Structure 1
């Protein structure tokens, strides 16, 4: 039925279309049937309620007729009445339940009101007790907080009697517990500064006063303990007690006590090293007991240089060992001692007033270490000065004095690198070196004064005198010694100038004095021989180059004099001197050229004689000239000098030859119509080429 009605009255969209009248117009609103039909048809069969109703009718299988419809209406009305009755009956039960609930609620409200009255009465009775209990709890909390604060304060700022005894009592050992308590006391003293910043400063002042007293006692105890340990300390033992190093680092916070310990230590070590040095020298202790384990330096050294060298070597070895031991003792743990001393200076500002380095100076650990080592070997330095003074004064050998001075220079540079430039030992070595050099100069002056140069005479072969050769041998020994010294390269040559003035210049001046009595060329040859020997002695050493250049310049000057002598010899022996003297005043003018024929040396007979003299001279001229320099020990200089003189002679011959040719040409041009005179070249036929070949 539902499907039928839906298909019959629904459009494409499911909406019911109202029926039309036969004439196509809408039905009249007053027709009940039409209104009924319109109402039925206008109903939407898509409504779920309507569809459920229709499904119910389908399930009953009713027939759509009037009787059935009336019966259904009656049944429906009956069902509605019965349903309403059931609802009313149920609502009666609900009303009864609601009545009972109302009674229960009223009873509950009455009970609540009663409880409120009891609670209010109880609250009024217990309120004072609760307020009192709350106040007591608050006070208890404050007391507990104060107890905790007092306990923490006592634990941090108050030291126990056992701790104070461990810190200040000399009966207690200086062990790890001592240093732990000392560290805590220093921390308490530092933290007291916070208490001084509060309103109540009395507590902070009292604690700081007591702590400072305990700290001072602790440092005094540590100071005395270190002094006792220093008395039995063996620096030769590689396993130096770590407790001493730790104690020194802590004591550095009191610079005055630390310095007193260093003074005590330096004094003790100075006596120990002085006694050891005396034993090394003599083989006996200061008390006179013989030490068989030591080979005495005084007996083992067979010469003065070995003796002083062994003493310096022992001193260097002892200084190095002392410094290494003190490095382990004072520096091996980093800059802890320096930091402690710096902290001590800050805590003791009154100690800075007398310092020269200023208020902001920092502690230099290496410098302090060098000063301490230098103080330790100060006694050894005094013994060295005495022994060296005896050696220097008791020996009068020039080379020995210089070798001792050079050895002292070597060790002075070595100790400067080890201890710095400001040390007592370095000052001692410098004064000893100066004394040795002074002794060397005195001995050199005495040796020069004893030469008696005025009575010396040169040898027949003009070789350097014996005293000059001995002086150069001595100088060579000095230079070999100086070559091994530690003098810096930039000042090496400048420092040796004074030695050359003492060991070379007097011999050169003495040779000049001797050569003054000789005639040329013997005096020149003698001077060159002496200077050449000096040059050969100086050249191998790199620190004499300035003096080498000076001597070479002197040799060159003397060689120039020899060139002039040989040149004059060529002029005189060849007979050209008269020709050169005659041509000297003439110029290059035609008149002067013509006048050459009128000059005496250029007359045919004189010119022929000169040409013959030249021919006789030339074959042996070079050998004869070399014979003049036969005593010159340097054949190279002799050959060079003769070659230069020969070159100058050849140039003069070229000049004469040119003048003769020019004169012949000018005279030939002026006598074209008359009989031409015989040319000058006919009387003087030699050419410059022939001369150069003969003198080459």
Structure 2
């Protein structure tokens, strides 16, 4: 180990790091007073440092002495303050001992004050809920004040009080509830009487006939409020019906006789000479009035708000009502329907009397039918708006039935004339003039019915009696007129008449009648085919052979039947060639009398088929060994196919 002190110091110094914070702080402090690097300074460095440390300590002691003095002053002041606080505490304790009774009284009074405040709040709430203010009483009871929205607010408050009293009756405050309810009952009676009288005068102002005047909101609320009193509400409805019914009736009479304001539109009765327009204008006016009156009544009965106890949907009215306007538990919609029925009831009588006057003077079946369709259309439309049980609906049904009866009477008269003087068939066996005229009339009737907005299903049911009334007597007349004809000509004549009528039935609601006529036509076609077949058999000469084949005994050979030997049949079949050459001319002559080319072609085809079938049976009989014909090929000059080819060509 090196004992050299200098070396040790150097080693220590060199080992020191210049980044050491303590070293750097020491050097910084040393630089403040070690300014000269001299030998004396280096020798005295330690003493200087110690001396400087001593001065710093003295300076620190002097500063601490100042702080100590200040703390002593603070302590003295704190002691003085503490003594003052103790003195004040003593005084407060003394004052507290003297005022404890006063404080107890103050607390008791404060508690009583809080109780009184709560009671005052409860009392104010009770009075507000169970009593009317002076202003509300004045509004409700004073006849000098008009009915305004404030009236209904006060009335609603009264109703709420009346309802709340029911809650008091089930508590220990029954006496208060009874007293309040009794006083409110008086106010309620006076207020509803005032409202009823005001509403009576208001109803008298609702006399405008168009029903489109604007209904004030206060009027709507008045009606809604009166629903709470059954008697008043029923009386108001009766008053409203009286006013509106008279107004509508007066307006209808004015529309008929005076026209609109300033003469526009013109009076309806100016068109009395035109039955369709006259009746149509009356029904159109009533239809328009129904719509406007319903809108007016719905506006009157609509409610801005519901009262507390009862909703507006259910109204309990007495069973006994003079006008029977509404039934018990009627809804608003039912009340509107009932009022609408009563309001329009007055128009039924003048409408019915005028329509009946038109119908009495109406002899034209087509016009009567158009009138019936027009009435039926409006009857169905108006019935949807006012119901089937309404007086106006029943009246419309009555005049609709009456107009249809006039139509049937006119058709019946025409049918009687046809049967009394039936047309006789012409030489062409075509439809007579009576059939053509009747079909023209029927086309007009069907066209009118097709444009009458009647549903197809209803049309099939409703139009069937009309078709029968027009067509059945017509065919009966044709049948009577053709009584002198032969069965063949009569069948052609009836077939032509049926087909002529059938071609006119082109509407969906005539489908069933067309099918019936088709069956009758087919029956006459079968008659014509059968008659012509017998004629063709006779003209061709093979009728005796066919008859012998059908009438002989099965065990007897055909050749053994008299006149059916091989030579006789050969002679008959030789004449068949001449017939086959002229038969087409014969068919053309009588087929030209059939109006329908389709039917003529069908009849011709059936005749050819039946004749060929008969000739084929004849050939089969000749070729059959049982009939004992020798050399059948020499007898049968033509085969059945040859005959068919000649006839078809």
Counterpart Cα distance in 2 of 1:569 and 1:237: 81
Q: Give the counterpart of 2:406 among 439, 448, 463.
A: 439
Per the alignment, residue 508 of structure 2 pairs with 542
Per the alignment, residue 463 of structure 1 pairs with 430
Per the alignment, residue 570 of structure 1 pairs with 536
Whether the aligned pair in 2 keeps the contact of 1:571 and 1:649 (CA below 8 Å) is yes
* Residue 163, structure 1, aligned to residue 131, structure 2: no
When residues 664 and 426 of structure 1 are mapped into structure 2, their CA distance, relative to the original with a 3 A threshold, is closer
Whether the aligned pair in 1 keeps the contact of 2:431 and 2:497 (CA below 8 Å) is yes
Summarize the alignment of residues 506-655 of structure 1 with structure 2, pairs less than 5 Å apart.
506-538=473-505, 540-585=506-551, 592=556, 595-655=557-617
Structure 2: gaps of 5 or more residues: 1-85
Task: Find the structure with the greater CA-based Rg.
Answer: 1
When residues 477 and 339 of structure 1 are mapped into structure 2, their CA distance, relative to the original with a 3 A threshold, is farther
Per the alignment, residue 295 of structure 1 pairs with 266
Counterpart Cα distance in 2 of 1:494 and 1:134: 97
Shift of 1:496: 1.5
Q: TM-score, with normalisation over the residues of structure 2?
A: 0.78
Task: Report Cα offsets for 1:76-97 as digits up to 9, x if no partner.
Answer: xxxxxxxxxxxxxxxxxxxxxx
Q: TM-score, with normalisation over the residues of structure 1?
A: 0.73
When residues 335 and 620 of structure 1 are mapped into structure 2, their CA distance, relative to the original with a 3 A threshold, is farther
Counterpart Cα distance in 2 of 1:683 and 1:642: 28
Task: Report Cα offsets for 1:320-376 as digits up to 9, x if no partner.
Answer: 22222333333486999996445653xxxx736889x9x997543333223222322
Counterpart Cα distance in 2 of 1:193 and 1:282: 60
Summarize the alignment of residues 402-481 of structure 1 with structure 2, pairs less than 5 Å apart.
402-453=369-420, 456-481=423-448
* Residue 182, structure 1, aligned to residue 155, structure 2: yes
When residues 455 and 299 of structure 1 are mapped into structure 2, their CA distance, relative to the original with a 3 A threshold, is closer
Summarize the alignment of residues 197-212 of structure 1 with structure 2, pairs less than 5 Å apart.
197-212=170-185
Whether the aligned pair in 2 keeps the contact of 1:279 and 1:294 (CA below 8 Å) is no
Q: Give the counterpart of 1:659 among 621, 625, 634.
A: 621
* Residue 316, structure 1, aligned to residue 287, structure 2: yes
Task: Report Cα offsets for 1:43-101 as digits up to 9, x if no partner.
Answer: xxxxxxxxxxxxxxxxxxxxxxxxxxxxxxxxxxxxxxxxxxxxxxxxxxxxxxxxxxx
Whether the aligned pair in 2 keeps the contact of 1:604 and 1:683 (CA below 8 Å) is yes
**3-state SS of paired residue (1:486):** coil
When residues 332 and 576 of structure 1 are mapped into structure 2, their CA distance, relative to the original with a 3 A threshold, is farther
* Residue 501, structure 1, aligned to residue 468, structure 2: yes
Shift of 1:552: 0.2
Per the alignment, residue 45 of structure 2 pairs with none
Per the alignment, residue 29 of structure 2 pairs with none
When residues 130 and 282 of structure 1 are mapped into structure 2, their CA distance, relative to the original with a 3 A threshold, is closer
Per the alignment, residue 360 of structure 2 pairs with 393
Shift of 1:451: 2.5
Per the alignment, residue 682 of structure 1 pairs with 634
Per the alignment, residue 492 of structure 1 pairs with 459
Aligned length: 558
Task: Report Cα offsets for 1:246-284 as digits up to 9, x if no partner.
Answer: 222222222432232222112211111211111211127
Per the alignment, residue 47 of structure 1 pairs with none
**3-state SS of paired residue (1:171):** coil
**3-state SS of paired residue (2:425):** coil
When residues 352 and 451 of structure 1 are mapped into structure 2, their CA distance, relative to the original with a 3 A threshold, is closer
Shift of 1:399: 1.6
* Residue 254, structure 1, aligned to residue 229, structure 2: yes
Per the alignment, residue 35 of structure 1 pairs with none
Whether the aligned pair in 1 keeps the contact of 2:587 and 2:604 (CA below 8 Å) is yes
Counterpart Cα distance in 2 of 1:516 and 1:600: 39
Shift of 1:136: 5.9
Per the alignment, residue 105 of structure 1 pairs with none
* Residue 283, structure 1, aligned to residue 252, structure 2: no
Counterpart Cα distance in 1 of 2:349 and 2:293: 17
The answer to which of 227-236 and 545-554 deviates more is: 227-236
Structure 1: gaps of 5 or more residues: 1-110, 668-676
Task: Report Cα offsets for 1:544-599 as digits up to 9, x if no partner.
Answer: 111111110111111011111111111101111111122224688xx75xx33333
Shift of 1:422: 2.4
Shift of 1:614: 0.8
Counterpart Cα distance in 2 of 1:213 and 1:641: 98
When residues 284 and 410 of structure 1 are mapped into structure 2, their CA distance, relative to the original with a 3 A threshold, is closer
